[in-house]
């Protein structure tokens, strides 16, 4: 165990994991965080706290994560290289760990142009891969990038992202390999709406033996309406939604589109579950968190045993993932 986080325990025990993303509030009130968390808590193993995703300001990643940790949830704190240099990132990793956060997700981050303050200065001192290596160095070698020792290293489970649906497609599995070399423990992918592409990606990942070295969680989420889907794929970086999905939503009455979107998401989860090398799903329900519980339940992923200690690993290859 590297961190002992709930997410790590679930994954290492060989169970199919469910993580969910919390939409951070535009508020200084902790209650706003708890209101969002409570609908997710019983249906997922860990909750992702985004870092100004889409380059829009919200309550900070570490703020949200610390509140969740304090309430007994298992937060995954996301760090994007967009807004902080290496000095700030390393300090924040220590701070988050001190506040009880046990999962750290290392991201490049969306460009500032995607948000509502495109005039901001982008940082990108490190990139996602050098950040992964940096956090691993802090955890396993007990030192900062400068070489200076850390008194009590941050015991964190290190995450990274991948987008199998963005070009160059044949490089994506190799990029996962690079992240594995850098020291990543788990990967969460971008939203999946294109099953053939995901299958191709996972096949390459498994052929390279990467599924034995890293836990892979596939990103999924419901689409509210054809209009919302269209908006997401044009405005949110990295989201690819095939026309066929939008047509399917257009094919039902307006009133039923939301239900249809949920149905699509559940079907995708069920297909994803059967793909070799997949360790779990990461549910992102942008502005429709209340749907997450229904989706997880109807996809047959309940109950979550997160309050119990996991059984010892029954399956050899899971245990071998150091």
Partner 1 sequence: MRRLQNRPHLLEVAYDATEKALQPFKKVLKPGGKMEKVFVKGEKLTKGMIFDCRMCGDCVLHSTGMTCPQTCPKTLRNGPCGGVRPNGHCEVKPEMMCVWVQAWGRSQKMPEYGKQILTIMTPVSKNLAGTSAWINDLNSDKVKKVPTGWSEE
- Residues forming the site for partner 1 (CB under 8 A): 81-82, 86, 108-111, 113-114, 122, 124-130, 133, 136-137, 140-141, 143-148, 161-163, 166-168, 170-171, 174-175, 177-178, 181-182, 190, 237-238, 240
Question: Cβ 271 to partner 1, closest distance in Å?
Answer: 22
Q: Which is nearer to partner 1, 39 or 174 (CB)?
A: 174
Question: Cβ 147 to partner 1, closest distance in Å?
Answer: 3
Question: Cβ 110 to partner 1, closest distance in Å?
Answer: 6
Contacts 24+ apart (CB under 8 A), 90-97: 90/134, 90/138, 90/144, 90/145, 92/62, 93/135, 93/138, 93/154, 93/156, 94/138, 94/150, 94/154, 95/62, 96/62, 96/65, 96/66, 96/154, 96/156, 97/154, 97/155, 97/156
CA distances from 39 to 20, 21, 292, 294, 321 (A): 10, 11, 8, 10, 32
Q: Which is nearer to partner 1, 173 or 280 (CB)?
A: 173
DSSP H or E stretch at residue 19: strand 17-22
Q: Which is nearer to partner 1, 81 or 296 (CB)?
A: 81
Q: Which is nearer to partner 1, 149 or 316 (CB)?
A: 149
Q: Which is nearer to partner 1, 175 or 203 (CB)?
A: 175
Question: Cβ 161 to partner 1, closest distance in Å?
Answer: 6
Question: Cβ 180 to partner 1, closest distance in Å?
Answer: 11
Question: Cβ 95 to partner 1, closest distance in Å?
Answer: 19
Centre a 10 Å sphere on the Cβ of residue 63 and count the other Cβ atoms it contains: 18
Q: Which is nearer to partner 1, 150 or 318 (CB)?
A: 150
Q: Are 72 and 61 in contact (CB under 8 A)?
A: no
Q: Are 139 and 150 in contact (CB under 8 A)?
A: no
Q: Which is nearer to partner 1, 235 or 270 (CB)?
A: 235
Q: What is the DSSP string of 205-270?
A: HHHTTGGGTSEEEEEE-----HHHHHHHHHHSTT----HHHHHHHHTS-GGGHHHHHHHHHHHHHH
20 DSSP assignment: E
Question: Cβ 293 to partner 1, closest distance in Å?
Answer: 27
Contacts of 253 (CB under 8 A, 6+ apart): none
Question: Cβ 37 to partner 1, closest distance in Å?
Answer: 26
What is the Cα–Cα distance from 56 to 24, expressed in whole angstroms? Answer: 11
Q: Which is nearer to partner 1, 5 or 128 (CB)?
A: 128
């Amino acid at each position: 165990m590297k961190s002992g986080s709930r997410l790590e325990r679930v994954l290492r025990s060989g169970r199919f994991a469910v993580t969910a993303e919390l939409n951070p509030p535009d508020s200084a009130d902790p209650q706003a965080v708890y209101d969002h968390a409570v609908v997710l808590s019983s249906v997922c193993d860990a909750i992702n706290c985004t870092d100004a995703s889409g380059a829009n300001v919200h309550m900070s990643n570490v703020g949200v994560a610390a509140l969740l940790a304090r309430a007994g949830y298992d937060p995954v704190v996301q760090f994007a290289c967009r807004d902080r240099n290496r000095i700030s990132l390393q300090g924040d990793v220590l701070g988050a760990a001190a506040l009880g956060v046990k999962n750290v997700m290392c991201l490049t981050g969306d460009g500032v142009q995607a948000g509502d303050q495109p005039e901001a200065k982008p940082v990108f001192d490190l990139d996602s891969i050098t950040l992964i290596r940096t956090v691993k160095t802090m955890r396993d070698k007990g030192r900062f990038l400068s070489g200076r020792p850390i008194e009590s290293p941050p015991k964190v489970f290190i995450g990274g992202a991948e987008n199998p649906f963005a070009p160059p497609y044949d490089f994506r599995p190799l990029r996962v390999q690079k992240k594995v070399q850098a020291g990543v423990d788990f990967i969460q992918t971008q939203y999946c709406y294109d099953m053939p592409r995901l299958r191709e990606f996972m096949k390459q990942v498994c052929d390279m033996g990467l599924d034995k070295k890293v836990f892979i969680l596939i990103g999924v989420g419901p689409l509210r309406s054809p209009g919302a889907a269209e908006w997401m794929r044009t405005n949110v970086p990295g989201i690819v939604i095939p026309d066929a999905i939008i047509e399917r939503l257009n094919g039902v009455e307006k009133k039923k589109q939301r239900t249809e979107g949920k149905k699509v998401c559940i079907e995708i989860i069920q297909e994803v579950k059967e793909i070799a090398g997949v360790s779990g799903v990461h549910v992102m329900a942008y502005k429709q968190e209340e749907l997450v519980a229904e989706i997880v339940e109807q996809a047959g992923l309940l109950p979550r045993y997160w309050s119990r200690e996991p059984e010892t690993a029954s399956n050899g290859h899971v245990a071998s993932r150091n």
